[in-house]
Amino acid sequence: MQLTLDTDARTLTLTQAGQTRTLPLYSKAAFEALSRQWVRVGWNQKYQYTFSWMGRPVIQLPEDMLRMQEVICDLQPDVIVETGVAHGGSLVFYASLCKALGKGRVIGIDIEIRPHNRSAIEAHPMAGLITLVEGSSTALATLQQVRALVAPGQTCLVILDSDHSYAHVLAELQAYASLVSVGSYIVATDGIMLDLADVPRGSADWATDNPTFAARDFAAAHPEFRIEQPRWPFCESELDANITHWPGAWLKRLA
């Protein structure tokens, strides 16, 4: 694709597969086209590896964190389950929201919780709201531990941020979907991989091996879930699509 940005003419011209489209620069369509490229270049530059929350590194696009905050504030979950802990920044972020709301706690699952990360999470001011479970997210022993920590009838939100292969995410969706309460979500993060197959740090097989396709196929087989971007509680713009590393990630439980 070729993108020609002309700030004098106030246009953005896109050429792809022999087709040319010229957009007004200060338009919704131009913002969306520029954002897509910003996300791709930023991902390659490891922009998502430059943030921390309350002292812990968090490997997320801030736009996704803010949208997740809107969902948590609206849903007020009793339990947030996240697969993929790494340094613990996202767990601390969710726990800090629970603390501010006066409701909820967080369960974090990782195949390997490195000792320095475990120590820092366990010493953190939010530690009282965080339970760590070590093991593969799809292992039976892990699932038994997690299920024992979520009581029937609790409002539960699940975030999948561990191994992002199609097979693993589909297995996680099948394993964790029953924990999700009606009206809540299971979120298959990092599907941006499907749009990174051609970027320098990306991989060609991501065009098909990605979480977005796992979520799509899960939804097709499970009519009780629908892929649905959560409603923005505030919007005075014509914009309506998340700028995200999580395209097609939000599976809402309908029944």
- Interaction site with ligand SAM (CB under 6 A): 58-60, 83-87, 89-90, 109-112, 136-137, 161-163
* Shortest Å distance, C-beta 82 to ligand SAM: 6
Nearer Cβ to ligand SAM, position 161 or 195?
A: 161
* Shortest Å distance, C-beta 164 to ligand SAM: 8
28 burial (CB, 10 Å; 0-12 / 13-18 / 19+) is middle
DSSP notation for 122-154: HTSTTGGGEEEEES-TTSHHHHHHHHHHS-TT-
Nearer Cβ to ligand SAM, position 70 or 163?
A: 163
Alpha helices in 58-180 (DSSP H): 62-75, 89-101, 115-122, 140-149, 166-176
> What amino acid occupies position 222?
H
Tell me, what DSSP letter sits at residue 232? Answer: P
* Shortest Å distance, C-beta 30 to ligand SAM: 30
Nearer Cβ to ligand SAM, position 31 or 43?
A: 43
CA dist 211 and 198 (Å) reads 17
At 146, give phi and psi (nearest 5°).
-65, -45
* Shortest Å distance, C-beta 74 to ligand SAM: 21
Nearer Cβ to ligand SAM, position 64 or 195?
A: 64
* Shortest Å distance, C-beta 35 to ligand SAM: 21
Measure Cα distances from 44 to 47, 60, 109 in Å: 8, 13, 27
Nearer Cβ to ligand SAM, position 13 or 47?
A: 47
